[in-house]
Chain A
Amino acid sequence: MGVHVYTAAQSLNEMFAQYPSSSFSNSWHCGHHASGNREGAVRFNNVTIPKNTPIISAQLNVYVGAKGSGSGDLKYIMYGIDEDNTADYSSSPMARTGTTASTTSQVSVPSMGNYFPINVTSIVQEIVDRSGWASGNNMGFKIFNNSSPTDVWFFESYLTPNSNLEVVWDESSPSSSQSPSSSVSPSPSLSPSRSSSLSDSPSPSPLAPFLGIKIAKPGKNVLLSNNPTDMIFDSDYGTLKYFDKQTKTVTISSGNLGATATIDHNLGYYPFVEVFIKVEGFNKYEYCPFAGAGATVFYDANYKITTSQIVLYAQTTGFASDTDFDFLVFIYKNNLKL
């Protein structure tokens, strides 16, 4: 007997979110919002259950990426999509034929970053018993609101897919020997976890093997979360790569309106840049571009980025003497690709 875990892919069209007057293929949800019902669907790829295998248990662990602030339980009805190999959700799956089996239940939606389980044993059994089902096919589920209280809902984005389908079957049975098991055994991440306790999810299910480095924030579980905001570092996500810091003072001579100066970076592309500025007489750095004023003065600053330089500009009115603008420029190696 083995535990097999399948997680939704991190790509568009694997989830579907139906709103009262619109829909998106970048997330899924269910419940009741002030603007109306929210319903959705999720698809799992390459579900390696042999045809006609007796299912011991199947559970869809729903990840709460966001939730409503209402009170009371989420009430829902879940169906499987009764197809041999469910197509992706580039078109709405909500009207596709549903399984006869369904799950009607209610749950107190846990806090963000946690899971709640949906028993889908009968649903999964019905799908794998289809004459056209084959191991490795795609399996889909759709969920409908069932009179949930106002503002009680859950939401998950495709950018941080954590919901998973956990299936247990007897691998010694004749029908399950037709194809090799490709179960995803739970395995810890390669990096030391900073968390000291497991999530209080009712059914914590380890994620698929991860090849990279993740370091969880205190109180977060590196083994259970795919949410980048739970991580101090996650090699699945880029960071701003600090390259250089430069300062430049631009002086506007009295009688002139403006001044300019340049800083060289010579990266050969347009880099991500952050610029701060301090105007003489005002002892604080402000984010640039900006404009400010005093009782009788006006000043503003701007900049532009070329593939070799940061060009700084400053201008003023009302200053009686030379005025210094102190620019502080942070240059990152991140290419803007423009």
Chain B
Amino acid sequence: MSQVIKVAKIGKDIRSTDPNDFVFHSDYNTFKIIKEATKNVTLVASTTNQTFTEAHGLDHILPLVHAFAKRSGVSQVFAPNGLDVESFGFKLGYSGDIKFNYVASDETNVIFNFDNDKGSNVDVSIRYFLLEHIL
């Protein structure tokens, strides 16, 4: 008999064979956070395609990376491939001047890319997560 460590969800039977019935099951990998940190950047006024990098210290390894951004002085967080929504209207839709274009990783760096359509510099804090490496 193989050895297993498993914790069932409330109301579920520990003898269940459905992995969705468990909080933890040692037959299934957990997605580990190898590293998380915050990077502060300043987006230059009226400039698109601004790239910032941060060495991830996992050289020669491509981590899976996720990130969230927050503009200084604004109480909301936005995700990659999205706008920092500033206005909404049923007839106009939603809009914003700051776009988090993407987050990516290579063998050395985490890469962040933004657009700033405002006429002034904007400070942004980025919280990024390096998850179990993909290559």
Binding site for B on A (CB under 8 A): 17, 24, 26-27, 29, 65-66, 155, 157-159, 191-192, 194, 215, 217, 228-229, 231-234, 237-240, 253, 256-260, 270, 272-273, 275, 288-290, 302-307, 311, 313, 315, 334, 336-338
Contact = CB atoms under 8 A, between A and B. Distances in A.
Contacts, number: 138
Nearest to A153: B60
A257 to B, nearest CB: 4
B19 interface: no
B61 interface: yes
Interface of B: 3, 5, 24, 26, 28-36, 38, 55, 57-61, 66, 68, 70, 75-85, 88-94, 125, 127, 129, 132-133
Given A313-B88, A315-B94, A194 B30 contact: no
Main secondary structure of the interface of A (DSSP, over half): strand
25 contacts: A24-B55, A65-B60, A65-B61, A155-B60, A158-B57, A159-B57, A229-B32, A231-B32, A232-B26, A233-B32, A237-B32, A237-B33, A238-B32, A238-B36, A256-B91, A257-B93, A258-B94, A272-B66, A272-B68, A289-B79, A289-B83, A304-B84, A305-B78, A313-B88, A338-B68
A157 B133 CA distance: 13
A273 B24 CA distance: 20
B85 A311 contact: yes
B57 A27 contact: yes
A24 B107 CA distance: 14
A132 to B, nearest CB: 33
A221 to B, nearest CB: 15
A140 to B, nearest CB: 20
